[in-house]
Amino acid sequence: MGIIVQKFGGSSVANAEKIFNVAGRIQDAYDAGNSVVVVVSAQGDTTDDLIEKAAEINAKPSKREMDVLLSTGEQITIALLAMALEKNKYPVVSLTGWQTPIKTNMVYGAARIEKVETTRLTNELDKGRIVIVAGFQGVNAVNDITTLGRGGSDTTAVALAAALHADVCEIYTDVDGVYTCDPRIVPDARKLKDISYDEMLELASLGANVLHNRSVEMAKKYHVDLEVKSSFQKIAGTKVKEASSVEKLLIRGVARDNDVARIAVIGVDDTPGKAYRMFALLAKKNINVDVILQSIGRENTKDISFTVSRSQMEEAIKILTENLEMLGATKITHDEKISKVSIVGSGMLSNPGVAAKMFEALYDANINIRMISTSEIKVSVLIDEDMAEKAVQAIHNKFFKD
């Protein structure tokens, strides 16, 4: 028996019936003799609704007041869930982020947790109470409420698990684990028994959308064992932990990211410092560049292409166009209708030929690759957007069926 942190996402607490379902899961853990700390998100679409409400009043509200507003969503859930447990005759107390307290830095809207004070938490646990903590929020050095950024409740849960040295942090959600692929694209995608932190981080940033990126980073840093599970079915989920794995899979997953735009700067002077100038300009405007490709020089010029998120494309083109002369380039082209498809898995470290296998799958499906990028445990290709689903299916079949 130990300390368990359980986190329930917004869809798991969306109405009264679901709140009682969640109460049942908590009671099971408590009845088994564990100390139980629970983190919850705002119910259903509450956070989106609050954002809309704010927009009706003020198109540019201060981030401080947005945080005061958005933190109320989670505050509603902790009270309702505590009431459900009270009704079932369990000892329980709810705590907001500032009551706990979860101390953050000063960045409203995207705060980082600096410290979780555990005195109140351990006192409550020692009294035998279930503690329900509001996710996604904290308090800064001037006693203002802060929020951690969308999806931040996962991070709250991991931070509490780390601070309390919990035995496990269970993330309950409306899917029952991490899959080899989005089951909406590949219906026979498999659920993984486990996945390493690094693999999960790659998948999370590729748009797998199961866990908040920062929560995985934090779990890795503090060695928190995570498990992604279903709120509704009592079955094993997916464990996220250090490298070791029981399943021998070449890759862990295939992911697709449609939020990609490609920009090509054509005819850049083939002299030192051009790439530096170009990407420094973009960095100054906080534009995140992903895949970069430089062509072989010809006639003393070269082409440099790279990708950015679609929302940053226009701005990137504008800055580069303004500096075309300084870069010694002739023109800029762009393409929004592309997708990034990636495979992830630490199996590729020890197995040559993984990339070739991916490219073969694409060749068999007659899909043209525009750009390629790799890391130790990831291979990404850029392809036409309308081919993305077909590509994901072909690659998934290649690795998981052949």
- Binding residues for ligand ASP (CB under 6 A): 10, 41-42, 47, 73, 135-136, 150-153
Residue 112's binding partner among ligand ASP, Mg ion, none (Cβ under 5 to 8 angstroms by kind) is none
10 binds, among ligand ASP, Mg ion, none (CB under 5 to 8 A by kind): ligand ASP
Judged by beta carbon distances under 5 to 8 A according to partner kind, the member of Mg ion, ligand ASP, none in contact with residue 345 is none
Pick 42 or 131: Cβ nearer ligand ASP: 42
State the binding partner of 101 from ligand ASP, Mg ion, none, CB within 5 to 8 A by kind.
none
Report which DSSP code applies to 207.
I
Give least dist CB 100 to ligand ASP, A. Answer: 16
- Using CB under 5 A as the binding rule, the residues of this chain from 138 to 197 that contact Mg ion are 151
Q: Read out DSSP for 264-326?
A: EEEEEE-STTHHHHHHHHHHHTTPPP--EEEPPPBTTEEEEEEEE-HHHHHHHHHHHHHTHHH
CA geometry: angle 216, 395, 256, nearest 5 deg? 45
Q: Does 237 participate in binding Mg ion (rule CB under 5 A)?
A: no
For residue 5, CA distances in Å to 29, 224, 321 come to 10, 11, 51
Neighbours of 267 (CB within 10 A): 18
- Supply the minimum distance, in Å, between the C-beta of residue 158 and ligand ASP: 12
Query: Which residues, in sequence order, are CB contacts of 122 under 8 Å at separation 6+?
Result: 164
Residue 354 makes CB contacts below 8 A (sequence gap 6+) with: 250, 251, 343, 345, 347, 348, 379
CB-wise, 9 or 138, nearer to Mg ion?
9
Report, in Å, the least distance between residue 199 CB and Mg ion.
Answer: 19
Interface mask (CB under 5 A) for Mg ion, residues 3-22, using x and -?
A: ------x-------------
Cβ–Cβ under 8 Å, residues 79 and 145: no
Q: Which amino acid is at 373?
A: S
135 binds Mg ion (CB under 5 A): no
In order of 168, 229, 388, the CA distances from 201 in angstroms are: 19, 18, 22
CB of 141 to ligand ASP, least distance (A): 22
Site size toward Mg ion (CB under 5 A) is 2
Q: Extract the tokens encoding 282.
A: 């973009």
Under rule CB under 5 A, residue 73 binds Mg ion:
no
Choose the contact partner of 238 out of ligand ASP, Mg ion, none; CB within 5 to 8 A by kind.
none
Q: Specify the length of the chain in residues.
A: 402
Q: Which is nearer to ligand ASP, 45 or 225 (CB)?
A: 45
Residue whose CB is less far from ligand ASP, 34 or 41:
41
Q: How far apart are the first and last CA of the chain?
A: 43
**Window 19 to 58, contacts with Mg ion (CB under 5 A):** none
Picked from Mg ion, ligand ASP, none, the partner binding residue 47 (CB below 5 to 8 A depending on kind) is ligand ASP
- Between 67 and 199, whose beta carbon lies closer to ligand ASP? 67
Q: Which residues bind Mg ion (CB under 5 A)?
A: 9, 151
